Structure 1
Amino acid sequence: MPKLPLSRFTVLDLTRVRSGPAAVRQFADWGANVIKIEEPGDVPDDKPGGSSQFADYQNTHRNKRSVTLNLKHPEGKALFMEMVKQADVVIENYRPNVKFKLGIDYESLRKVNPRIILASVSGFGQDGPYVDRPGLDQIAQGLGGIMSVTGEPGRGPMRAGIPVADLTSGLFCAIGTLVALLEREESGEGQWVQSSLLQAQVWMMDFQIMRWLMNKEIPGQTGNNHPTTAATGVYPTSDGFINLAAMGTEMFVRLVKALGRPEIAEDARFKDIKTRGQHRPALNELIAECTKEKPSAYWIDVFNKEGVPCGYIKNVKETMEDPQVVHLGMAKKLQHPKLGEISVVNQAVIMSRSKRDVFTAAPDRGEHNHEVYAEFGISAERVNALAKAGAI
């Protein structure tokens, strides 16, 4: 396998569940030497039933190696610090006070390695009035505003169907860590990188937040309609539903032409963006009267020929079988020692030269103890002694 762009970096992974692993995955996939550090013994974690064969675990922790290490044991803590001396990055998503109790906070780490970067993902930040609260994705979705704009009017708040706060906080943590690694090339020093579910969720609200910051407008739920413009939404066909997005006037004219109803564009209610938004229900009804007469495939073909953004609304099976998704290689195959060939979700970035041809399966707990510790200068005899003492 050719050398990957992050192969020169060693990352010590103290993360679990989703937000932290979402950050670490960016480093593992692009070739960093990622060492997943897990508690020894049968400890409940993000592997239900203790099985690394769990599908989500395979996707989340691919391309890593695993060692066991007890940070609460003096010898285990000392061994971790030996690893920190040779590492580039430590990533964790403990509650903010845990790292201080364990003595692996940034100031403690930089004493043994001034170049180390500590990356922390938390629920609400490393300080502030919510610092001691437990943070979970749905809690952040509620606090960050997305549940107030998701779903249909009058139906109450609705969570997003994916852990958007977990995943985006992990991505922001990875971006911040990469920025810190770039900065270290000039300063020679590491730093503490912090992100949180709440910060990521607020950032993701984007233009909805700006409607308040600039105009003091509080957005509400609009269901499948676009929050501010028409005609954009979900429309019935004779065999299902499709998405349509004709936001500008030029695009709207193309839409009604494709529908065979060009006169709709001349209706005073629909002549500009503002009036179309004001008369959205009537406009949607007119469009639906047309689209429900023919099947989805017919309309997808017609609208694409007219240059009107449109698309099927697919379930996950249909998505992964979509020819464009297949072409983009979003299902990445790997070999699992027990399951055989399985697929995980591929990276959403393509580089012209840097490609990872082979993914490796998520490791079993402590699978690489001897291999990894040997690379840090720990003899097999010492590894065995540390295991016997409960340090690893």
Structure 2
Amino acid sequence: MKTALGHIRVLDLTRVLAGPWCAQNLADLGADVIKIERPGAGDDTRSWGPPYLRDEQGHDTTEAAYYLAANRGKRSVTLDIASPDGQEIVRQLARQSDVVLENYKVGQLKKYGLDYASLKQEKPDLIYCSVTGFGQTGPYAQRAGYDFIIQGMGGFMSITGERDDLPGGGPQKAGVAISDLMTGMYATIAVMAALAHRDRTGEGQYIDMALLDVQVAMMANMGTNYLASGKPPVRWGNAHPNIVPYQTFATADGHIIVAVGNDGQYRKFVDAGGRPDLAQDERFATNPMRVRHRDILVPLLAEMVKTRTKQEWIDALEAAGVPCGPINRLDEVFENPQVQARGLRVDLPHPTAGKVGLVGSPMKMSATPPRYDLPPPLLGQHTAEVLADLLRKSDEEIAELRARGVI
């Protein structure tokens, strides 16, 4: 199968989520990704469980589900980069790679001779991407960056969560590590752009990715709302500051989202609920009036919605042309016919579990679709293979390196 990046090799020195997410994207697109891990321990997320992947007998393996999420398509090589021999192997692998990814603390790899300036001497057209919490410059550069903290510092939690004047109001983080994931996505884009530039000019370059930079950038219209008005946006929970009703409602057996965009849709909504009087009332007849009287209207709508089940409401509102949707648990997500039709679950053979279920790439490409050749690797699974094939190490040399704890 043709792949977009089948000609690219990536040396992945990252761990946890932001860097591995970038590397997995590149692997999905065909790149040969070599993941360097600590001997005996590996990526921190291998032990971030439960849950763990289960073997064919139903017993837990050593592979945490967290680790499985970000390491598909890679080859694992265990290597002690604190040792001179380990550093030399990294340099040798870098010479045969197009891209190096790392997420060590600022300056940490320089003492090993594995920073961009050092590896550029080995391979002038190398693309080298560093992922840190705060970037390589600025007063916070030496600080460790954690997604949760970055969500707070970057403004996301100031607009996420229930309104302060309602029960449960206050700042709320996202349910997934969004600054990590978005940094991985931005890093993927930057690497692809650098590869395109290299292919045109022969010039490599350094990429400095920071979680805080990404979090601020991804505030999108909320950031420009502030810059335009001088007023920081506030939390609205699942409601909308300018449209009513545009929020979640509890049904008899779950929750739904109702996204009324105009007065006609509002009339259809309340008609479907058997409350046409809520459209005839002048306080609720137009959106500006509904926004003004939301504290009166929303409790009435909430009482109306609770009289039916989630599916009854979805069926009724879809038939009426009112934008709506369920709030699904993940079991419902993977049972959804649209999710199944789009191939968002993939099952790959696994050396200890028999097979492993993973979330497929959302990138749908007609000529070079994502590939799923390799499951997330066992720790050090490909060490001997990579050293023999790429560096021409003999069995005796590999055994000697292993005996000394280098690999």
Q: How does 1:353-392 map to 2 (within 5 A)?
A: 353-356=367-370, 358-380=372-394, 381-392=396-407
Question: Alignment partner for residue 318 of structure 1, among 332, 335, 342?
Answer: 332
Q: Is the 8 A contact 2:42 2:379 kept in 1?
A: no
Deviation track 1:208-263 (CA, whole Å, cap 9, x = no partner) reads 22221111222222121124322111112233221111133443344334334445
Give ranges in structure 2 of 5+ residues lacking alignment.
Answer: 50-60
User: Which residue number in structure 2 is paired with residue 171 of structure 1?
Assistant: 185
- Number of positions where the alignment pairs a residue of Structure 1 with one of Structure 2: 391
**1:17 partner amino acid:** V
State whether structure 2 residue 116 is matched by structure 1 residue 106: yes
State whether structure 2 residue 269 is matched by structure 1 residue 259: no
**1:385 partner amino acid:** E
State whether structure 2 residue 64 is matched by structure 1 residue 64: no
User: Distance between the aligned counterparts of 1:271 and 1:23, measured in 2?
Assistant: 49
Q: Is the 8 A contact 1:95 1:122 kept in 2?
A: yes
The alpha-carbon deviation at position 335 of structure 1 amounts to: 1.1
The alpha-carbon deviation at position 101 of structure 1 amounts to: 2.4
Deviation track 1:260-305 (CA, whole Å, cap 9, x = no partner) reads 4445445443344433322222222232232222222121112112
Q: TM-score, normalised by structure 1?
A: 0.93
**1:297 partner amino acid:** Q
User: Which residue number in structure 1 is paired with residue 52 of structure 2?
Assistant: none
Q: Is the 8 A contact 1:53 1:339 kept in 2?
A: no
State whether structure 2 residue 333 is matched by structure 1 residue 331: no
SS at match of 2:109: helix
Could you say what the CA RMSD is over the residues aligned between the two structures, in angstroms? 2.1
User: Distance between the aligned counterparts of 1:153 and 1:230, measured in 2?
Assistant: 15
User: Distance between the aligned counterparts of 2:364 and 2:326, measured in 1?
Assistant: 25
Question: Alignment partner for residue 98 of structure 2, among 75, 88, 93?
Answer: 88
User: Which residue number in structure 2 is paired with residue 293 of structure 1?
Assistant: 307
The alpha-carbon deviation at position 49 of structure 1 amounts to: 8.2
State whether structure 2 residue 13 is matched by structure 1 residue 20: no
Q: List 4+ stretches of structure 1 deviating above 6 A.
A: none
Please say which of residues 379-388 and 134-143 is displaced more in the overlay.
379-388
Question: Alignment partner for residue 320 of structure 2, among 301, 306, 318?
Answer: 306
Please say which of residues 54-63 and 331-340 is displaced more in the overlay.
54-63
Give ranges in structure 1 of 5+ residues lacking alignment.
Answer: none
**1:391 partner amino acid:** V
State whether structure 2 residue 16 is matched by structure 1 residue 6: no
Q: Is the 8 A contact 2:363 2:370 kept in 1?
A: no
Deviation track 1:10-45 (CA, whole Å, cap 9, x = no partner) reads 000101111111111101112110000112234672
Question: Alignment partner for residue 198 of structure 1, among 209, 212, 235?
Answer: 212
**1:97–1:266 distance in 2 versus 1, CA, 3 Å:** farther
**1:288–1:41 distance in 2 versus 1, CA, 3 Å:** closer
SS at match of 2:208: strand
Q: TM-score, normalised by structure 2?
A: 0.90
User: Which residue number in structure 2 is paired with residue 119 of structure 1?
Assistant: 129
Considering fraction of residues, name the structure with more helix.
1
**2:397 partner amino acid:** R
Q: Is the 8 A contact 1:9 1:33 kept in 2?
A: yes
User: Which residue number in structure 2 is paired with residue 73 of structure 1?
Assistant: 83
State whether structure 2 residue 248 is matched by structure 1 residue 234: yes
User: Which residue number in structure 2 is paired with residue 184 of structure 1?
Assistant: 198
Deviation track 1:327-364 (CA, whole Å, cap 9, x = no partner) reads 21111101111111220111112112323464422112
User: Distance between the aligned counterparts of 2:347 and 2:285, measured in 1?
Assistant: 51
User: Which residue number in structure 2 is paired with residue 151 of structure 1?
Assistant: 161
User: Distance between the aligned counterparts of 1:137 and 1:389, measured in 2?
Assistant: 36
User: Distance between the aligned counterparts of 2:99 and 2:342, measured in 1?
Assistant: 31
Q: Is the 8 A contact 2:272 2:317 kept in 1?
A: yes
**1:193–1:48 distance in 2 versus 1, CA, 3 Å:** same
The alpha-carbon deviation at position 379 of structure 1 amounts to: 2.1
User: Distance between the aligned counterparts of 1:353 and 1:257, measured in 2?
Assistant: 48
Please say which of residues 255-264 and 357-366 is displaced more in the overlay.
255-264
**1:309 partner amino acid:** P
Q: Is the 8 A contact 1:52 1:363 kept in 2?
A: no
Q: Is the 8 A contact 1:333 1:359 kept in 2?
A: no
